[in-house]
Structure 1
Amino acid sequence: MHSKEQISHDEYQKTADWLKSQTKHRPQVAIICGSGLGMLADTLKCQDSFAYSDIPGFPQSTVQGHAGRLVFGELKGKTCVCMQGRFHMYEGHSLCKTTFPVRVFKLLGVETLIVTNAAGSLADSLQPGDIMVIKDHISFPGLVGLNPLCGPNDDKFGPRFPAMSGCYDKGLRSLAMEIAKQQGVAGLIQEGVYAMVGGPNFETIAEARLLHRLGVDAVGMSTAPEVVVATHCGLRVFGLSLITNKVVKSYEDSDSVNHEGVLEVGRLRSQTVQQLVTELIGRMEINNNNNNNAV
């Protein structure tokens, strides 16, 4: 596997410095948009946008439904940066490449990372079109040593052995639930556990049953590595999964899942996700006093 690749602190810094020289925006919040959810970036005011291919050091996104650009702008009075399209392990990227933008965001002064993804539901209570606020994750690649923090630790970002027990911020999770009530969509939203598998194939029935028995509510092929790196470097994290399909858990079931169906649910529910995230950004506290440039 490609986990031996190392990226030096200077390389992250070079990308951050290039972005700072190209835009006046100094983002406090970063948003990673999952499959079919890239429209969030379109609502930013006073936009500056950059194709990934133009940004020094950035990998390229190859997945349909992922636009492949970084968009800076204002949302509800806060400065944000949005990744329209993320990088996945199954595209052949090393995990330090898939998580590369997260450390660049840290060096730009970002404090809060919002991750969104499209996921399949294993919990009987989650239907396609529902939104799951992620309260915790299981990273299957991570459990077998495919972790973006493998290799020498960069002490400038964080400790060798970071704790992951509180990586999805409790305050932001309860604020999201409150906002959902006020927006009249509480019936669509619940908290749950997300599992990351490597992909790119969808799960076999036996794999789906295994995940279900392990207490997994929704499954996808991303997110965990970015959250691990964000937590390592001290970012506050909020995550949500848009449930796009029910994972097949029965041999009698003739349904099967495809990427087009995933993108279709993304289109139908994008408005709801967008309103929720926008309001969350508007109401979250930002601590401007900490000196992010010390990193």
Structure 2
Amino acid sequence: MPDSQDVRIPTVDVTRPSVARMYDYYLSGKDNFEVDRAAAEQVAQAMPEIRELALENRSFLRRAVRYMTQRGVRQFLDIGSGLPTVGNTHEIAQEIAADARVVYVDVDPVVLVHGRALLGRDKSTTVVQGDMRRPGEVLGHRETTRLLDPTAPVGVLMIAMIHFLTLEERRSVMEELRAALPPGSYLAATHVTGEGHSSSAVEQIEAVYATTPTPIYFRPRQEIAGFFEGFDMVEPGLVTIDRWNPDSDQRDRPRAKAGTWLYGAVARKA
């Protein structure tokens, strides 16, 4: 059972937009506030295809989870999972392996409250509040250690998350995470890019996210590749998400060119 600190209802800041709640709005969810909707609409002015992009990003997640599960991964750590939506990591993994276990992690307290309400009776899935900038705390959380075997491969998901790290944070966060994972583990991640897109649109989106607790950084492919250092990328490597194994599952084939805003890859620790 969670400790007493975990079960307290956390305080929700509704004075600043939240990345998780903005993403929920992109996906036509209902767990967001006016401040989140206003910020999201500003992003949509610069990137009209933002809702299609959010859907394509979820499609990439599902393809990546199927890929890892089909290769024997039975436990997943979904960092920056966001609010519950259709096609969650545990649903996709458990379609293939009923014994798959999932720990969802997000820094937003709203995710903690809604996630626990959704997963309250699922003994193979849990949600914890944690910051990806402190992977040791995430991996050492009592709920994480309760559910995940530290000696068995883990599928780590950082979907639309690593672009919230500075380049200075990249090395320490990713090195600590990689060092803690056993051989055979996987990392799946996506990251926004300005390549092929208007610089004014990129600047406008970065300005909106600068008003949140988590600024966003658009980067070229070469810089994004650095987040996978020490892992071996599986085919087709680091590509825009519309090109990552698009034919692997007919249910989740990319359907929009919006995917060119994100690079994504799945990589394995040898």
Q: Is the shorter-chain TM-score for this pair beyond 0.5, marking a shared fold?
A: no
Identify which of structures 1 and 2 has the higher relative contact order when contacts are C-alpha pairs closer than 8 Å and 6+ apart.
1
TM-score by length of 1: 0.28
Bigger share in strand: 1
